[in-house]
Amino acid sequence: MENTTHFGFKQVATNDKQSLVRDVFNSVAGKYDLMNDILSFGTHRLWKHYAITSGNIKMGDKVLDIAGGTGDLTMEFTRQVGDNGQVILSDINTTMLHEGRKKLTNKGIFGVEFIQLNAQYLPFKNNTFDCVSIAFGLRNVTNQDQALEEMYRILKPSGCLLILEFSTTNSVLLKKIYDFYSFKIIPKLGDIIANDKTSYQYLAESIRKHPNQKTLKNMVLNAGFDFCEYHNLSSGIVALHKGVKV
């Protein structure tokens, strides 16, 4: 029997998910930043700022931004590490990497390395990075446990992992509002603005399939991390998990 996994609310062959996710982001890449601003009412910038400031990144550090997309986190990491540090913007999707390179270049940010990679197979030696981040990308990874183990492996001792991702709110009222917005409004806006209803339907569904805060915390610890804590943002609609490798 063929192994299957979820792609939104659908069950698909495990080997097919990566290409299906790639098709989604090929489609949305050109309007990705615009749609983020519209769909989150700009709040994604506050969520990302909180994640960036939680990394305790110092001048000279080496940082890997996984699923870095259009480079919002990479931009700030570059300023934090200075000329003697290094930031790598990585993504599995070439179209998103192109958008990230174009955006950073237009903002006069150079020295960033761009690498296309799969989070499940990180092409780096053990104990390489001071910080590894993944923002709104983990839910698209086929084997999340394997990816977390890889992130642990490439972090230096005392290095930190930052996972910024949509999560689960405990507010009954907010959940009703959020579900209505996610399934009734977001796909329609995706259709009107990005001419792509299907991709935004998937993105809404993928959030619901992502592990909740406590489950993800346990996954981080099971991957080898000695410490993990999470902080809810916007009443748990988004959560930042921070893992530390001692």
CATH number of 4-11+30-171+198-244: 3.40.50.150
186-193 long-range Cβ contacts below 8 angstroms, 24+ apart: 186/39, 189/35, 189/38, 189/39, 190/28, 190/35, 193/31, 193/34, 193/35, 193/38
Q: What is the mean pLDDT of residues 85-106?
A: 96
Q: What is the mean pLDDT of residues 182-193?
A: 94
Distance CA 72, CA 94 (A): 17
> Any idea where the domains of the chain sit in the sequence?
4-11+30-171+198-244
Residue 51 counted as an annotated binding residue: no
Strands (E) across 41-143 are located at 62-66, 86-91, 113-116, 129-135
Q: What is the DSSP letter of 85?
A: S
Q: What is the mean pLDDT of residues 209-222?
A: 97
Distance CA 101, CA 89 (A): 9
Confidence of residue 63 (pLDDT cuts 50, 70, 90): very high
Poorest-pLDDT segment among 16-20, 43-47, 184-188:
16-20
Residue 91 counted as an annotated binding residue: yes
Q: How many CB atoms lie within 10 A of CB 171?
A: 12
Q: What is the pLDDT of residue 23?
A: 87
Q: What is the mean pLDDT of residues 208-229?
A: 97
Q: What is the pLDDT of residue 2?
A: 56
pLDDT in tens, 193-211: 999 999 999 999 999 999 9
Residue 223 counted as an annotated binding residue: no
- What is the overall mean pLDDT for the chain? 95
Q: What is the mean pLDDT of residues 46-72?
A: 97
Residue type, 93: N
Among residues 41, 80, 104, 97, the alpha carbon closest in space to that of 162 is found at 80
Question: Is the model's pLDDT at 70 over the cut of 50?
Answer: yes
Confidence of residue 22 (pLDDT cuts 50, 70, 90): confident
Q: What is the DSSP letter of 57?
A: -
pLDDT in tens, 105-158: 999 999 999 999 999 999 999 999 999 999 999 999 999 999 999 999 999 999
Question: Is the model's pLDDT at 1 over the cut of 70?
Answer: no
3-state secondary structure of 103: helix
Residue 61 counted as an annotated binding residue: no
B/e letters for 69-80, b = 16+ CB within 10 Å, e = fewer, are bbbbbbbbbbeb
Burial degree of 224 (CB within 10 A; 0-12, 13-18, 19+): middle
Q: What is the mean pLDDT of residues 159-166?
A: 98
Q: What is the pTM of this model?
A: 0.94
